[in-house]
Chains A and B, each alone.
Chain A
Amino acid sequence: MKEEHKHEHKAKKYGMVIDLDQCTGCGACMVACMAENNVPFRKDETDKFLSITWMRVYQLTNGKSFPNTEICYLPRPCMHCEGEHGHSPCVSVCPATATDYSHETGIVSQIYTRCFGCRYCMAACPYHARYFNWWDPVWPEGMEAYLSPNVSPRMRGVVEKCSFCFHRYQIAMEKAHYEERHELKEDEYQTACTQACPAGAITFGDLNNPDHAVCQMKKSKTAFRLLERLGTHPKVYYLSSREWVRRAGDNYLRDEDGKVMDKRKLRN
């Protein structure tokens, strides 16, 4: 039965395209994510290394002095790296199989109850997309009422990260199966950040499906991914019309012209 399915339906590869020309840095994606995924908060969240933000908006500057300064905002979810054949940097190092690459959806999972907090994955992730729960999650009295039953709150001592709102995929699939469908429509499964973005900067969908917008958008001339040269094959693409922004997506030697990256880009 399982084999049959495989032949019938091509594996999905969910990914995201974020248009940095449209992102205004408002932070709605960050809060939409926190509200969707029961992300805890503490009294002081100003140490950003400790502040758990599955989705984090970074501010990039072009480094030029006044008045030629430019700013670009860059939202950073988990990149759901494909690596070579699903060997994402974090998946490769996890001794507990608490994180895994799904070949069916292309989503890198995180199973909190399996994680024993060694934090190897955090060291391996080049995007700082993973966060450790140093403290028990505590909600002020009464606030536990808004917690969603679809995402389990994490306990102290485990690592967490963006799941591309995997529970939404599960809910959508359940509904599809109930209606005797095997495929999801593009708008049936969208992440919370995509939905909330007031500027419409985030597009989410199956990178393998030519009917999905992301499939075309990733082919744009202005598309790039973060740290592509590491070979992590992230599934989050960015669009920017500004060259310095595209260049900021990777590390270059001072006199390097960036052409090396373009060659690498030819792969998918």
Chain B
Amino acid sequence: MRIDRRSFLSFVIGGAAGTALTPLPWKITDDLAIWTQNWPWTPEPPDGEAAYVNAACTLCPGGCGITVRKIDERAVKIEGMKGHPVNDGGLCILGLSGLQLLYGPTRVRTPLKKVEGKWKKVSWDDAIAEVAAKLSELRGKGPQSLACISGSDQGTVPQLLKRLLTAYGSPNFMDMPSFQDAYAITLKLTQGVDASAAFDIENSDFVLSLGSGIIEGWGSPVRMFRANSSCGEKKGALVQVEPRLSNTAAKADQWVPVTPGTEADLVLGLAHVIIKLDLYNKDFVGNHTFGFDDWTDGEEKPCKGFKQFVLENYSPDKVAKTTGVDEKTLTTLAKKFADASSPLAVCGRGEGKTPGSLHEFIAVHALNALKGSINKKGGVWAVPESDYISLPDLKTDDVAKKGLETERIDGAGSEAYPYSKSLLNRFAEVVGTGEQSPVHTLFVSGANPCYTLADTQAVKKAFKKIPFVVSFSAYMDETAQAADLILPNHVYLERLEDVPPPAGLSQCVIGLSKPVVAPQFDTRHTGDVVIQLAKKLAGSVADAFPWENYEACLQEALGDKWDALNESGFVATEVTPAGWEKAFAGTPSKKFEFFAAGYQPVTIEGEEKTFPLILVPYDSMRLSGGFIGNPPFMTKTVSDTMLKGNDIMVEINPKTAKSRFLFLNDGDYAILSTPKGRVNVRVHLFEGIMPGIVAMPKGLGHTAYDDYLAGKGVNVNELIGPVEDPGSGLDAAWGIRAKLTNVPI
């Protein structure tokens, strides 16, 4: 048969028409679609009975209530608890990701012991026996060589650890620093009280924030979010003073960019204007304060008062030069602050994990005092630390007494730093410098100092020098990796624990977190482990822990609150601050004390000549910079202006990028060096940052955890060292001098 053009075309067209008319192509497409979708490995979550369980979130000290949705025995979703006094239904990004921590791959599943650099599973009995043996052996040589780093000193578990140390004979219980440490000293000096600072932000009509990340995790995050929203509704104003346009600055009514480190000057400049224009609260300043006007001390020596000090040294033109805020802005800001009926100035940079300089805190507190915003509606309150935990008195034996008399290794409470309770920032230096570490055994609970402390390299080196490190972490974090033994705690959703009242809240909310799911792995409650350990040590140490288990201890510690807590999960009590008449009884003058001079501003590390720029860390709600590493959900939300691939992005002003020695475009690679280290970064050109500043996000650069977090970006703590505040000894580093250079081609 001859195939001509005509028959060929008929065949092709006919064939095409025929195929199109049959259901075959559609059937095949459909089958293909179904077949490609029926992969057996796509999970089918099993259905079951749905239930909601109330608990508390303890991932940060915020103290939010949560409601967990369960399907049979599985927890499937965490939501904010409606009606809870702290968060009333809302929840932060970390709290929402909690189940990824519970079921995540970063958990430590059994007690682990490091043998020749490798982790070996051990039984709980063996692990506790080993620690007990070490401690018994050590006690005779000097019980003070046992130390503990805890995430907080509040709550029963930290209290039990502290009790163990005390009964054993060591004063070396250290907790992670926060801006509340600096506030505590400020309140002690000015008001003569042992208290923590609470901020009545909800009732203030003008909030001046000196770099505090009001909506970036400062204080109790969700409560701050709510305060911020209601602030807008009530026509209250928020003014944010910081060099970078942070989320808080973006949401504030006014952003005042200021040269970092000169915030105290700005505050005293405002005080200058307020005093000069006679706008301060005469009743408060006149009747309830001391040191405002000039005075003479016991030896008839004339002393300069706050008024004179500020008028002489902080005139707007001078302040404008140091801070970079022009005179007009300064004067208007001062007037606005003075005109408000309950103005409030707050400080503590970013999330508030670095205490900051006493000079700055006292200046801010003095500004509040000028307007009488102390212990008053809408002001800052001195709230005595809640003593809701009542544990029986402790009897110490002679060994313990002798040990407790020794000076703390961090120097807190010593002559040099009389007001500080804990100076963890000095830990690396103290342990690292001597030939032998003064700490023989170190407990770490609820903290990740090998990641979160400034100058991480030095901290890690110090850890290497300590012969025996025990971590109670539930996750394989940097500190757990550096430990010799891990006694994994339950994750918060698996354990019973009290939730201490969040600091900074003008209401005292005590919570009780009950387990939502049964322990997933062979972990044990740190409270139980401490009790079991004490029992093994026998003698007076064992006697200090008469309880059968942690639950019995908690029940006794909470006393009459136990029933109420058990029922509703929280107990909220209103706090009324002491009135002006009684509030300052603890100071020598029985009045609020102004400090004219005496506390010095802190200068950061580095020579301006070699390091022309300033590196400042910044906090973001999408990155968890503290003890808890970012769960995958949170990392997913991290913007590509912070992290691109595994490269960290640092923010610089376009002006900084095109200076004499630099030529950088958005997204370019560069080398960032500081006196502490040198890393490769990429730059993000951003108009919302002061020229001369480099801003780096906190919370990246983990070496531990899983593939969803490890190896991404740079840990800013490796580039910044601690700077000791001359007054308090606390870490006051707000940045470090730095240099950016082009990557050599």
Chain A residues within 8 Å of B, Cβ to Cβ: 21-22, 24-28, 30-32, 34-36, 38, 41, 43-48, 51, 53, 57, 59, 61, 64-67, 69-73, 96, 112-117, 136-137, 139-149, 152-158, 192, 195-201
Question: Across the two chains, which residue of chain A brings its CB closest to B644?
Answer: A46
Chain B, range 375-412, C-beta contacts under 8 Å to A: none
| Known contacts A61-B687, A69-B687, A146-B76; A200 and B229 CB within 8 A of each other | yes
* Beta-carbon contact of B37 and A199 below 8 Å: no
Contact of A69 among B69, B104, B245 (CB under 8 A): B245
Question: Across the two chains, which residue of chain A brings its CB closest to B636?
Answer: A45
Q: List 15 A-B contacts (CB under 8 A).
A: A26-B247, A34-B633, A38-B45, A41-B632, A46-B643, A59-B639, A61-B687, A66-B688, A116-B30, A117-B33, A145-B74, A145-B103, A149-B71, A196-B90, A199-B226
* Beta-carbon contact of B247 and A46 below 8 Å: no
Question: Across the two chains, which residue of chain B brings its CB closest to A64?
Answer: B687
Cα of A141 to Cα of B708 in the assembled complex, Å: 13
Q: How many residues of B contact A (CB 8 A)?
A: 82
Which residue of B42, B654, B707 has the most chain A CB atoms within 10 A of its CB atom? B42
A112: B residues at CB distance < 8 A? 37
Question: Across the two chains, which residue of chain A brings its CB closest to B325?
Answer: A67
| Known contacts A46-B643, A149-B48; A28 and B636 CB within 8 A of each other | no
Cα of A57 to Cα of B330 in the assembled complex, Å: 34
B575 within 8 A of A: no
* Beta-carbon contact of B104 and A155 below 8 Å: no
A157: B residues at CB distance < 8 A? 36-37
Supplied contacts A30-B93, A114-B33, 10 more A-B pairs, CB within 8 Å: A26-B92, A32-B79, A41-B632, A59-B639, A66-B690, A96-B33, A117-B36, A153-B43, A153-B45, A199-B215
* Beta-carbon contact of B91 and A196 below 8 Å: yes
| Known contacts A26-B215, A146-B100; A198 and B90 CB within 8 A of each other | yes
* Beta-carbon contact of A66 and B634 below 8 Å: no
Contact of A113 among B34, B641, B643, B706 (CB under 8 A): B34
B105 within 8 A of A: yes
Question: Across the two chains, which residue of chain A brings its CB closest to B37?
Answer: A155
Cα of A149 to Cα of B71 in the assembled complex, Å: 8
* Beta-carbon contact of B89 and A155 below 8 Å: no
B551 within 8 A of A: no
Mark the stretch among B249-257, B299-307, B426-434, B481-489 that contacts chain A.
B249-257
A22: B residues at CB distance < 8 A? 229, 232
* Beta-carbon contact of B42 and A137 below 8 Å: yes
A34: B residues at CB distance < 8 A? 633, 636
* Beta-carbon contact of A24 and B228 below 8 Å: yes
B661 within 8 A of A: no
B645 within 8 A of A: yes
Chain B, range 645-687, C-beta contacts under 8 Å to A: 645-646, 653-655, 687
Chain B, range 17-62, C-beta contacts under 8 Å to A: 29-30, 32-34, 36-39, 41-48
Cα of A71 to Cα of B686 in the assembled complex, Å: 11
Contact of B221 among A53, A117, A198 (CB under 8 A): A198
Contact of A116 among B32, B247, B622 (CB under 8 A): B32
Contact of A144 among B43, B637, B640, B653 (CB under 8 A): B43
Cα of A32 to Cα of B90 in the assembled complex, Å: 10
* Beta-carbon contact of B707 and A43 below 8 Å: yes
B80 within 8 A of A: yes
| Whole-angstrom distance between the Cβ of B209 and the nearest chain A Cβ | 14
* Beta-carbon contact of B257 and A66 below 8 Å: yes
* Beta-carbon contact of A31 and B633 below 8 Å: yes
B43: A residues at CB distance < 8 A? 137, 139, 144, 147, 153
